[in-house]
């Protein structure tokens, strides 16, 4: 007997990817339902060889359902997640709404799978920010060996992290560069994204950082270790899918680059592609559609006593969102619900 699964926000980029990954990983689904807002009712989505029609989230009864994967914004989640949770359906939420709630576990299964046990407080589990998810997969095995003191990360984040409208804006703007009469001014972004980079993701905070940068700091502390110091600069780049990160790590103990490479090769969810030659590293284009978090450019930082640099790339719609949510569901099933 498998699980009764609900995908909320099934018509969006992440919702569709959740359905793909549930099928690809052969998650033990007994029954599945796909939900969307009223304006998208009846939209068809694919689940393996099946075609499903979305139903109305507003009138759906979550009673008797095991797990709801939420891929909608914070406002909709704020309204509907407590309804699902109260009905006995465990919510795995991809929005930022519950990430910082002390009664809601924030989980990356390769890093802190034991945290899922805390779901019982609110019947909700939070999925981390896409840029945080791939970084902590790389940090955790290194932290276990040499204890991380400080992380300096600069991100190169694709437009898909901002949704379908952002993808369309990059596409339309790129074409308009070659057509002077077809001007496409910024709409989703604050400045032109085509052939440009924008050091601004989410809103600005009082200290001058953006909320995206703040998320990486707070989430890394909650998932890995509250004592790790993190500083981040988050940048949007003209790439459709795939986030990249340049990560500088300072450890309490010495960690040789060769040992770090060996540790990461054995780490769950990590693929090391690190050859010191032309093309001996992974770029966002190459990671699209893959489950792994790719690590390249591993090298000592000679400017500090115990430092390493590395390059981290992952498909943000997968590991940064849909895949991690499904992995949480798998972990929840194995450790807690025990069906399928």
Residue pLDDT, tens place only, 276-330? 999 999 999 999 999 999 999 999 999 999 999 999 999 999 998 999 999 999 9
Q: Are residues 72 and 27 in the same domain?
A: yes
- In sequence order, the β-bridge partners of residue 235 are 156
3-state secondary structure at position 175:
helix
pTM of full prediction above 0.75: yes
Q: Are residues 117 and 142 in the same domain?
A: no
Q: Is residue 186 part of a domain?
A: no
Q: Is residue 167 part of a domain?
A: no
Q: Is residue 76 part of a domain?
A: yes
Whole-angstrom CA distances from 78 to 31, 84, 301 are: 25, 11, 44
Residue pair 84/62 in contact (Cβ under 8 Å)? The answer is: yes
Q: Are residues 261 and 332 in the same domain?
A: no
Rounded to the nearest 10°, the torsion over CA 72, 283, 310, 111 is 40
Binding-site positions for substrate read 157, 236
Whole-angstrom CA distances from 248 to 149, 220, 275, 300 are: 11, 14, 19, 10
Q: Are residues 149 and 79 in the same domain?
A: no
- Res. 46: pLDDT tops 90: yes
Phi, psi angles (nearest 5°) of residue 41 = -60, 135
Strands (E), 169-277: 229-236, 243-251, 270-272
Binding-site positions for NADP(+) read 11-14, 39-40, 160-161, 316
Residue range of the domain that includes 75: 3-127+321-336
Rounded Cα–Cα distance for residues 212 and 161 (Å): 11
Q: Are residues 211 and 142 in the same domain?
A: yes
Q: Are residues 120 and 135 in the same domain?
A: no
Q: Is residue 116 part of a domain?
A: yes
pLDDT of residue 96: 94
Binding-site positions for phosphate read 99
pLDDT tens digits for 71-113? Answer: 999 999 999 999 999 999 999 999 999 999 999 999 999 999 9
Judged on CB neighbours under 10 Å (0-12, 13-18, 19+), 124 is buried
**Based on the structure, what is the number of domains in the chain?**
2
Rounded Cα–Cα distance for residues 218 and 304 (Å): 24
Structure tokens at 260: 């770090």
- Residue 71 CA to chain centroid, in angstroms? 11
* Sole residue written with tokens 């040499």: 146
- Given pLDDT bands bounded at 50, 70 and 90, which one contains residue 340? low
Structure tokens at 40: 């998208």
Give, as one character, the DSSP assignment of residue 337.
Answer: I
Q: Find the CATH number of the domain harbouring 88.
A: 3.40.50.720
Q: Are residues 139 and 123 in the same domain?
A: no
Q: Is residue 84 part of a domain?
A: yes
Rounded Cα–Cα distance for residues 299 and 311 (Å): 10
3-state secondary structure at position 271:
strand
Q: Are residues 257 and 144 in the same domain?
A: yes
Binding-site positions read 11-14, 39-40, 99, 157, 160-161, 236, 316
- Res. 61: pLDDT tops 90: yes
pLDDT tens digits for 121-137? Answer: 999 999 999 999 999 99
The residues annotated with a catalytic role in the active site are 130, 243
Arithmetic mean of pLDDT, 175-186 = 89
């Amino acid at each position: 007997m498998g699980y009764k699964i609900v995908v909320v926000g099934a018509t969006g980029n992440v919702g569709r990817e959740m359905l793909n990954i549930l099928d690809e990983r052969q998650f033990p689904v007994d029954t599945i339902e796909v939900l969307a807002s009223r304006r998208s009712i009846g939209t068809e989505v694919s689940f393996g060889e099946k075609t499903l029609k979305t139903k109305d989230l507003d009138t759906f009864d979550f009673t008797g359902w095991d797990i709801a994967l939420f891929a909608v914004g914070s406002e909709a989640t704020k309204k509907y997640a407590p309804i699902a949770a109260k009905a006995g359906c465990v919510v795995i939420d991809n929005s930022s709404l519950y990430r910082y709630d002390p009664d809601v576990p924030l989980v990356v299964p390769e890093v802190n799978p034991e945290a899922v046990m805390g779901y019982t407080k609110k019947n909700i589990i939070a999925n981390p920010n896409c840029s945080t998810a791939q970084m902590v997969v790389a940090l955790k095995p290194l932290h276990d060996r040499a204890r991380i003191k400080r992380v300096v990360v600069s991100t190169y984040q694709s437009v898909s992290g901002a949704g379908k409208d952002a993808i369309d804006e990059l596409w339309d703007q790129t074409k308009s560069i070659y057509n002077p009469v077809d001007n496409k001014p910024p709409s989703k972004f604050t400045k032109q994204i085509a052939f440009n980079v924008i050091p601004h993701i989410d809103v600005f905070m009082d200290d001058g950082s953006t909320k995206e940068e703040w998320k990486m700091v707070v989430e890394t502390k909650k998932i890995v270790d509250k004592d790790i110091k993190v500083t981040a600069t988050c940048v949007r780049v003209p790439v459709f899918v795939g986030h990249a990160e340049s990560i500088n790590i300072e450890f309490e103990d010495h960690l040789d680059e060769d040992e770090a490479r060996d540790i990461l090769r054995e780490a769950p969810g990590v693929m090391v592609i690190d050859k010191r030659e032309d093309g001996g590293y992974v770029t966002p284009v190459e990671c699209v559609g893959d489950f792994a978090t790719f690590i390249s450019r591993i090298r000592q930082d000679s400017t500090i006593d115990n430092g390493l640099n590395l390059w981290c790339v992952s498909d943000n719609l997968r590991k940064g969102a849909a895949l991690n949510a499904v992995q949480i569901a798998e972990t929840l099933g194995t450790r807690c619900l025990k069906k399928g």
